[in-house]
A and B are shown apart, each in its own frame.
Chain A
Amino acid sequence: MEFLLKYLADILQGFIVTVEMTLFGVFTGLALGTLLAIGDLYGGRIVSAIISVYTEFFRGSPIIVQLFLFYYTVPSLLNTWVDGFTVGLIVFALNSAAYQKGYIKGAMAVISEDQMMAALSVGLSRVKAIFYVILPQALRIVIPAWSNEFCSLTKSTSALLVIAVKDLTSVGNMIASRSWRYVETFLFIAIIYLLWVTAVAKIADKVYERVKIPGIELSV
């Protein structure tokens, strides 16, 4: 596999793009997904309907279709040229938010209305109750699901190939077509994905072990 050595710089570049895309997507998605979950649960029927259209779109259409759609519409909407990398950031953040909204809402629903009532009974407002009582429990419960989302988003970023962003898969494709060594190249690429995803899952497990609270790790 020595032929790969001369492409190491490219591979590293591609890996960094993949990592940036995934981290941005998953963390922006977490923040946005949390807001969407709160809006869905407490925002009333109209807000909830809008949110459901949003999530159904992102969960119901292929990521490649979403990338194409944004790639060809965002620049004309903003009336300026937007590169594929930026489009990727936007799409993966919005896409991940749709999925994470589901997980977080589920976790918030598990933390039943009793906790909300107890929070109100001590004089907290609804907003403060969500902030100090509901979310701290929900976000802990959601970590294992979040780790899955990370894993799945990492792999989805390989779709960036279609809008010519040089992520890990796309670099692999370039190397393979130049060297004609498809199997070795993609095997190597696959191993990099595997190591990265496993490492992050391990970190998430560690974080979960550290912040989990006796008694509320149930039912995940």
Chain B
Amino acid sequence: MTETVMECRNLWKIYKDVVAVRDVSLQVREGEIKLIFGPSGSGKSTLLRCLAMLTPPSKGDVFLKGECLTKPGVDLNKARARIGFVFQHIYLFHHLTALGNVELALRHVLKMPKEEARKRAMEALAEVKMEKWANHYPVQLSGGQQQRVGIARALARKPDIILLDEPTSALDPELTGEVIDTLRDLAKKGTTMLIVSHEMPFAREVADEMIFFDAGTIVETGTPEHFFTNPTSERAKKFMMRLIKRTRRE
């Protein structure tokens, strides 16, 4: 059996009087692709941010390759350096070029020498087919190109896992294709990923497991085939119907 890369046990995130994440446990193994989907506002982004320790969970534990990140005294910067994160709204560093965005952590987190960092950053940009745009600033790129740079930024450190928070949902429909193609390439290379997405054809193609998430918790898990043919819960059924209808319309 392959190694578990990321795991959370009984994870909760509670804001003042709102429970955003409710008792969630999940595991992602080496080379696996898991896809979380569910209604907006159901806590998917919060869950991902808790897993990356960008938001501290209220209760429960997060493990990265067996190492507990939620106990006191853990060097979270080191842990975060081993997790790639791709944001829905991209959040590239505005003052740096595409290359600068990818290079920054290589230079100042992994402390690579300049030449080596540059080489590695260019490789990452090549992986998302953005090497020609290395010297462009974020505003000079389209949304899809920006998101590909965002993916390169997450990839460059060769992280243990990449978490992607709705990487295409802030983009115009005609731009989602290029980002999905990039993700498909990563999937082929065996990249371990946990993706929040509603791109159903893509999910069906690459996901090892799909997780239906609603009201802060996991409602149902299964293979794409399971969800496309015969989901068990009423909520998942309804949601799948709506998604499939929407996809057809597009």
CA distance A117 to B154 in the complex (A): 13
A119 adjacent to chain B (CB < 8 Å): yes
B104 touches A122 (CB 8 A): yes
Q: Is A145 an interface residue (CB 8 A)?
A: no
With the chains together, A166 CA to B139 CA distance in Å? 50
Tell whether A115 pairs with B91 under 8 Å between CB atoms, given A120-B54, A122-B104, A128-B108: yes
Most buried by A among B92, B94, B138: B94
The answer to whether the Cβ of B248 comes within 8 Å of any Cβ in the partner chain is: no
**A123-B89 in contact (CB<8A):** no
Known contacts A123-B105, A124-B77; A215 and B93 CB within 8 A of each other: no
Majority-rule SS of A interface residues: helix
**Chain A residues whose CB sits within 8 angstroms of the CB of B85 once the complex forms:** 121-122
Residue of A121, A123, A137 near B94 (CB, 8 A) is A137
Contact call B77/A123, Cβ cutoff below 8 A: yes
B10 at the interface (CB under 8 A from A): no
Q: Choose among A119, A120, A140, A214 the residue that contacts B93 (Cβ–Cβ < 8 A).
A: A119
Interface bits A96-123 vs B (CB < 8 Å: 1, else 0): 0000000000000001001101111111
What's the nearest-Cβ distance from chain B to residue A140, in Å? 7
B-side residues, CB < 8 A to A, are 52, 54, 77-78, 80-83, 85, 87, 89, 91-95, 104-105, 108-110, 137-140, 153-154, 157
Can you list 6 A-B pairs, Cβ within 8 angstroms, ordered by A? A114-B87, A122-B109, A123-B80, A123-B82, A124-B108, A214-B139
Q: 5 closest pairs, A vs B, by CB?
A: A123-B81, A215-B139, A122-B105, A118-B91, A123-B109
User: Which A residues lie at the B interface, using CB under 8 A?
Assistant: 111, 114-115, 117-125, 128, 132-133, 136-137, 140, 213-216
